[in-house]
Chain A
């Protein structure tokens, strides 16, 4: 079991010591301007830091600086801190992923593969390093060996330990054909043997992609991130203009007023850095990495950040009924006896007929009889002959002494009873039809020529799922249940589970057509799938989550893989996507709203000497011009550090309609962002004055 496997089991601290130590070093390494230039806002700050440092050196060397050397040094130092804090935020986010990548990398040991010259176990073999395997190569793997690369089983059946990837310790069966034919490089064959055709080129295997993703090394900016970057760059330009033009304005003002001196370059750089959206600029990439990280912690591997973003936009969820909405199988819900038969007698016969039935339905009948009527599961004396379910007879049961007990579909039992010389009474027929109309499955029980009654088998809707769907509806997300059941059954389950729509007797083609129809109306559709026949629908869906237990084809068609193979995960994925976008929006709003207070701190400080009346704008009553400017710069730097946990964790998410969420966030991050810096700058100013630092 590794760090990736069950992160929730031992909740990691947000900032483990080791991560912080590496991140601190990384923050320095990231000062390289070639890396910084990717982030226009923080690159501007870095240029400003270098420039003020040069101004400081100039002041020290010539003795006639543009401000007292100590002041310039303080500003320069805090500007450098601003850049470092931003780098630190990014490094921490990456560091959390790196720890997981290291664990994964251990799985990618150098293994020697046995290559077959043809896709058959008898073909000639040769040993090659796994790294040299190309797509299309065929390999032989036997018990105890590591699977050398991603592939499709072409021959054989084996149990495979996939815990290195999924964290699930129970071994899984992999066999050729069907939906369990995909194997993943780095997993271990525990028993038997497999012939596998490799499906990934070296360096592009699932494991490689996962490592790349969690490390953030191959992280590309997502479309929305690019758009936000452009907006931030535009704002940076606006403020560059506003501050750069202040120099000529102040030259003009000094000439007009005949007092003071033109504003200093140090002050202008400080003002610029305070105004440009450094908070969001510093945290933007950390927010993105943390979003991917939250997916990974939910055991979902997204193939791109774009998919995570799209998850936030999804407004139609296609959910498979089985496993997502209902528990895996039908369960016995009631015994409905025929006239003259007690419920207990029916339960007894039904239990008897099910004792050897290992299907979940059969087991549930045994359990229900025990719960309702205290009938204990009996061990049957010898002489009992079990009649297993067969496709031809469509019933199962037991022969015990003279008793011939059967349970099965209505028509099958009717045939059995007729053969025994009896006939199923009309009232049993009516009960059975009533059960079917209610969306459940009737199972008729008979003993000899007598039909005893009906067992109602019901799909059991998962607890809490109805509330979950109501929540989704409030968020504007429609749920569509997809099932192979007939329309009657589907409608009844749909009503019970509270889904908005259902697709009954669904075939893969219908699924695909359904998705296209939604998309044509402008909706974004998410779905889960595992089988090869799901692949076209997965490829069409905007967010497609393939189950890790599924086929290679399904996994390639999807843009996310759920390692837990839990279809309910889709809901969590949507929430993570939304949370990512919200965090971005909230911090952008906060960052821009912050600027108002900084103007009120710096403008009076910068122009007080020329126009003393501007002191009226100093609403915070700051200690001195130098302290006002420093306090604003320090606040600006510290707020980045203070918000790192928020960026990594994402802002609190509660499902609600968009208008409610907007009102809450506008108040919290907009109005709050407007007010907070007034208090923050004043406090820093008081501290600086108390410590006699200014």
Chain B
């Protein structure tokens, strides 16, 4: 790995931290409706919305009511998104005269966007009209992220000192998350990206003459390339910021209209991690102890930075099979070097490696390179980052609440080791919390392993893998790791629009989202009722390097012990075979 690559990684994470700390404070104030400027401008709109919807903004919900509101609201969003796709030909803003989306794909897409997964079994630009992209997908991009944010806020209230069993109002959290946090942030990013060259237009399509004319399948000459254009920059902004990842184009951020330059690449990659990172600091503020936020943030970095370096190193090292043929893969002034298969020449392996790690660490799933073409180890680390449960930054809100489940487990075991029944932020961690946290941690892993096992046994499912051998196994494993953890990135190489894969990924995405979200709310409700014990010298400190280390160890140990056998049969074997030749 080159010094320049190390420097780029260092700059990337330094910039992330510098942006995340103030943003964390902003989000805390915005969710209270007190953000400077934004609160004043959008406050009246917010209150009007409550009046129209008949919402009492002062309502304090129990966890059951909170969870029911989330589920009902998400179910309604799912139905609406399905309807928009099916009724596409009858609706305006369809310049490409695209037909109705087939039922199976429409359900899959609706589930995918409502669960903040954005797994795409279709090519966006040739399947969905600008209206569906904007009024359907983009809306869910906002709302699914705001849902995660709301659930995190509820959990923080449960953990906070203010007890009485109440978690606040989902409607208020959802509205403020959308209006005061995500909307201003994505407007700013959309303007920045458009300024840097990302397409933003209702113009229909761009036509470009081909330098080398070709012939199509029936032998007719093809002299120009037609690329549909649309409101790309605005879509990309929320796709990145809301850990959604569903691109306007099938090629996602590898497409030059979505991500034209290394500079837009840096901005978009930072945007992937920005909100989840900032939420660590928001959380610290919420629970009244900034050190708690820094500790969780440090634990996340302690996992992500080494895995980013490992991914970039694997990509920059290139392919030994090509080296054997005498191909020069060394980085130099004239070439980026390393493994260039599946990568954009304007980005290269370092940019792609950082993006691959970031997009799998956060449950984003947008890509700027083909993950199927990563080296075995370069693919192993991103896959593992998803399998950890999308908790190393993870999704907006969902990443941190997932991480807090691991905090509960870490606190439980290490709390016992100091000779007290365990507590976190003064709240006792008892059988109910452990039961719910276990369920929430177990379910996504069960779907990943169970789904992969099923796909190995069902011939039609296994045949969808584009490659034989361990790489094909990796493609299957990756698909379930991505969907069950609501990441949404595709390894590629897998034909995922068949009935098995559509149905299996539907189940995976729903279980991965609500199988975690509902237990988290139940934990929040239980904790809210508990009295907080004041800390003493005998209390396990949940801040500082020691606890961060224990948290990292818990996450890595659970992740490694659950997935080591599966990973050994996929990327590890592939890596060993590649280098054994």
The answer, among A230, A248, A476, A596, for a CB contact under 8 Å with B456, is A248
Minimum Cβ distance to chain B for residue A672 (Å): 13
Flag whether B550 is at the interface (Cβ < 8 A): yes
Query: When each residue 439-482 of chain B gets 1 if its CB lies under 8 Å from chain A and 0 otherwise, what string results?
Result: 10110011001101110110000100000111011000000000
Rounded to whole angstroms, the CA-CA distance of A310 and B430 in the bound complex is 13
Q: Is the CB of A578 within 8 A of B537?
A: no
The answer, among A223, A244, A257, A585, for a CB contact under 8 Å with B417, is A585
Q: Is the CB of B557 within 8 A of A581?
A: no
Chain A residue contacts of B442, Cβ below 8 A:
234, 237-238
Q: Is the CB of A585 within 8 A of B416?
A: yes
Q: Is the CB of B561 within 8 A of A617?
A: no
Q: Is the CB of B573 within 8 A of A614?
A: yes
Q: Is the CB of B540 within 8 A of A581?
A: no
Flag whether B4 is at the interface (Cβ < 8 A): no
Rounded to whole angstroms, the CA-CA distance of A477 and B537 in the bound complex is 8
Contact A585:B561 (CB < 8 A) given known A473-B537, A658-B538: no
Flag whether A315 is at the interface (Cβ < 8 A): yes
Q: Is the CB of A658 within 8 A of B456?
A: no
Contact A252:B473 (CB < 8 A) given known A227-B429, A476-B538, A596-B560: yes
Which A-chain residue is minimally distant from B533 (CB atoms)?
A522
Flag whether B336 is at the interface (Cβ < 8 A): no
Minimum Cβ distance to chain B for residue A440 (Å): 33
Flag whether B334 is at the interface (Cβ < 8 A): no
Q: Is the CB of B573 within 8 A of A524?
A: no
Q: Most chain-B CB neighbours within 10 Å: which of A248, A586, A599, A670?
A: A248
Minimum Cβ distance to chain A for residue B368 (Å): 30
Query: When each residue 395-423 of chain B gets 1 if its CB lies under 8 Å from chain A and 0 otherwise, what string results?
Result: 00000000000000100111111111100
Flag whether A51 is at the interface (Cβ < 8 A): no
Residues 591 to 610 of chain A near chain B (Cβ within 8 Å)? 592-593, 595-596, 599, 603, 607
Flag whether A297 is at the interface (Cβ < 8 A): no
Q: Is the CB of A312 within 8 A of B419?
A: yes
Minimum Cβ distance to chain B for residue A502 (Å): 19
Flag whether A43 is at the interface (Cβ < 8 A): no
Which B-chain residue is minimally distant from A476 (CB atoms)?
B538
Contact A661:B561 (CB < 8 A) given known A231-B409, A248-B453, A614-B576: no
Which B-chain residue is minimally distant from A524 (CB atoms)?
B533
Flag whether B53 is at the interface (Cβ < 8 A): no
The answer, among A246, A250, A607, A661, for a CB contact under 8 Å with B418, is A661
Q: Is the CB of A242 within 8 A of B565?
A: yes
Rounded to whole angstroms, the CA-CA distance of A592 and B412 in the bound complex is 14
Contact A253:B421 (CB < 8 A) given known A613-B576, A658-B540: no
Interface size on B, residues (CB 8 A): 69
Query: When each residue 547-567 of chain B gets 1 if its CB lies under 8 Å from chain A and 0 otherwise, what string results?
Result: 101100100011011111110
Minimum Cβ distance to chain B for residue A442 (Å): 39
Rounded to whole angstroms, the CA-CA distance of A686 and B569 in the bound complex is 28
Flag whether B72 is at the interface (Cβ < 8 A): no
Q: Is the CB of B536 within 8 A of A661?
A: no
Q: Is the CB of A242 within 8 A of B573?
A: no
Q: Is the CB of B562 within 8 A of A313?
A: no
Q: Is the CB of B453 within 8 A of A245?
A: yes
The answer, among A244, A588, A657, for a CB contact under 8 Å with B537, is A657
Flag whether A689 is at the interface (Cβ < 8 A): no
Residues 416 to 456 of chain A near chain B (Cβ within 8 Å)? none
Q: Is the CB of B539 within 8 A of A476?
A: yes
Minimum Cβ distance to chain A for residue B311 (Å): 20
Q: Is the CB of B569 within 8 A of A250?
A: yes
Q: Is the CB of A613 within 8 A of B434?
A: no
Flag whether A37 is at the interface (Cβ < 8 A): no
Chain B residue contacts of A666, Cβ below 8 A:
414, 417, 546, 549-550
Interface residues on A, range: 35 or more
Contact A251:B557 (CB < 8 A) given known A589-B413, A666-B546: no
Which A-chain residue is minimally distant from B414 (CB atoms)?
A662
Chain B residue contacts of A661, Cβ below 8 A:
417-419
Q: Is the CB of A603 within 8 A of B565?
A: yes
Chain B residue contacts of A522, Cβ below 8 A:
426, 531-534
Q: Most chain-A CB neighbours within 10 Å: which of B549, B562, B569?
A: B569
Chain B residue contacts of A552, Cβ below 8 A:
none
The answer, among B431, B457, B469, B562, for a CB contact under 8 Å with A230, is B431
Rounded to whole angstroms, the CA-CA distance of A401 and B494 in the bound complex is 117
Flag whether A354 is at the interface (Cβ < 8 A): no
Q: Is the CB of A592 within 8 A of B446?
A: no
Chain A residue contacts of B409, Cβ below 8 A:
231
Q: Is the CB of B420 within 8 A of A581?
A: yes
Rounded to whole angstroms, the CA-CA distance of A616 and B490 in the bound complex is 29
The answer, among A237, A521, A582, A593, for a CB contact under 8 Å with B416, is A582
Q: Is the CB of B419 within 8 A of A315?
A: no
The answer, among B416, B439, B472, B565, for a CB contact under 8 Å with A256, is B472
Chain A residue contacts of B104, Cβ below 8 A:
none
Rounded to whole angstroms, the CA-CA distance of A645 and B396 in the bound complex is 48
Flag whether B438 is at the interface (Cβ < 8 A): yes
Flag whether A663 is at the interface (Cβ < 8 A): yes
Flag whether B541 is at the interface (Cβ < 8 A): yes
Q: Most chain-B CB neighbours within 10 Å: which of A231, A249, A577, A588?
A: A249
Chain B residue contacts of A663, Cβ below 8 A:
546
Q: Most chain-B CB neighbours within 10 Å: which of A230, A275, A586, A670?
A: A230
Chain A residue contacts of B541, Cβ below 8 A:
658-659, 662
Which B-chain residue is minimally distant from A246 (CB atoms)?
B565
Q: Is the CB of B418 within 8 A of A227?
A: no
Flag whether A687 is at the interface (Cβ < 8 A): no
Rounded to whole angstroms, the CA-CA distance of A256 and B469 in the bound complex is 4
Flag whether B572 is at the interface (Cβ < 8 A): yes
Rounded to whole angstroms, the CA-CA distance of A631 and B572 in the bound complex is 24
Q: Is the CB of B417 within 8 A of A593?
A: no
Q: Is the CB of A256 within 8 A of B473?
A: yes
Which A-chain residue is minimally distant from B580 (CB atoms)?
A613
Rounded to whole angstroms, the CA-CA distance of A251 and B450 in the bound complex is 14
Contact A275:B546 (CB < 8 A) given known A252-B462, A474-B537, A476-B536: no
Minimum Cβ distance to chain A for residue B107 (Å): 27
The answer, among B421, B450, B531, B546, for a CB contact under 8 Å with A312, is B421
Which B-chain residue is minimally distant from A253 (CB atoms)?
B569
Q: Is the CB of A603 within 8 A of B537?
A: no
Chain A residue contacts of B564, Cβ below 8 A:
242, 599, 603
Minimum Cβ distance to chain B for residue A212 (Å): 24
Which B-chain residue is minimally distant from A578 (CB atoms)?
B419
Flag whether A243 is at the interface (Cβ < 8 A): yes
Chain B residue contacts of A585, Cβ below 8 A:
413-419
Rounded to whole angstroms, the CA-CA distance of A237 and B439 in the bound complex is 10
The answer, among B472, B537, B569, for a CB contact under 8 Å with A658, is B537
Which B-chain residue is minimally distant from A659 (CB atoms)?
B541
Q: Is the CB of A309 within 8 A of B421?
A: yes
Which B-chain residue is minimally distant from A227 (CB atoms)?
B431
Minimum Cβ distance to chain A for residue B496 (Å): 18
Chain A residue contacts of B532, Cβ below 8 A:
522
Flag whether B577 is at the interface (Cβ < 8 A): yes
Flag whether B544 is at the interface (Cβ < 8 A): yes
Q: Is the CB of A256 within 8 A of B468?
A: yes
Chain A residue contacts of B412, Cβ below 8 A:
227-228, 231
18 A-B residue contacts at CB 8 Å?
Answer: A223-B421, A223-B431, A227-B430, A228-B412, A230-B435, A233-B438, A234-B434, A238-B562, A241-B445, A241-B446, A248-B457, A477-B536, A582-B417, A592-B561, A599-B564, A611-B577, A658-B418, A659-B544
Residues of B at the A interface (CB closer than 8 Å) are 409, 412-421, 426, 429-431, 433-435, 438-439, 441-442, 445-446, 449-450, 452-454, 456-457, 462, 468-470, 472-473, 531-534, 536-541, 544, 546-547, 549-550, 553, 557-558, 560-566, 568-569, 572-573, 576-577, 580
| Shortest 5 CB-CB contacts between residues of A and residues of B | A476-B538, A585-B416, A578-B419, A476-B536, A234-B438
Residues of A at the B interface (CB closer than 8 Å) are 223-224, 226-228, 230-231, 233-234, 237-239, 241-253, 256-257, 275, 309-310, 312-313, 315, 473-478, 521-524, 577-579, 581-582, 584-586, 588-589, 592-593, 595-596, 599, 603, 607, 611, 613-614, 616-617, 653, 657-659, 661-663, 665-666, 669-670
